Amino acid sequence: MTTAGDIMHRGAQWIPAHETLDRAAQLMRELNVGALPISDENERLCGILTDRDIVVGCVAMGHDPAKVTAGEMAKGTPRWIDADADVGEVLHEMQEHQIRRLPVIRDKRLVGMISEADLARHLAGDQIASWAESVYARTTPR
C-alpha cells in the first residue's frame, strides 16, 4: 500500500499566523515552494498560504505585505491528511475539495506536503488524469 508519507515532499515548514506576508514570500523563495501551511500558536494547522494569495489577495488589493499577516489570509477549513493514509484517500481528499496541495500530518505535527508534482512523480497516468479532471473542473460556465 502506497501512503501519503511515501509520496509527500519532506521538509515542509509552517509559517506562523502572526508572520507577515513579506516574510512568507521570503520563506517560499528559500524553500522553493509556492505554498506554506499556516500554524496557530499551538502549531496546529489553521490555513494554507499560496504565492497567489499574496499577489491577488494582498498586493493587487493595494495592501502592504509587510503589514498583513499570514493568519489574516487564512480562510475556510484547512484540509490535511495523515501520513499513514492510503494514496486513494489522498486523491479523494484533493478531488473532493478541489485542492492542489495537501499538508501531511503525523502525531499532530507537519511532516510534509503533497503537491501536483508529487502526484505526477508517483502515480499512474490514468490516476493523474482523473485527479486533474476533478480538481480543475469548472463549476460554472465561462
Please say if the pLDDT value at position 21 is more than 60: yes
Q: 3-state DSSP call for residue 42?
A: coil
pLDDT number for residue 65: 97
pLDDT per residue as tens digits for the range 52-92: 999 999 999 999 999 999 999 987 788 999 999 999 999 99
**Cα–Cα dist 72/58, whole Å:** 10
Domains of the chain from N-terminus onward = 4-135 (3.10.580.10)
**Cα–Cα dist 41/45, whole Å:** 10
Is the pTM higher than 0.85?
A: no
**Cα–Cα dist 97/87, whole Å:** 16
Q: 3-state DSSP call for residue 30?
A: helix
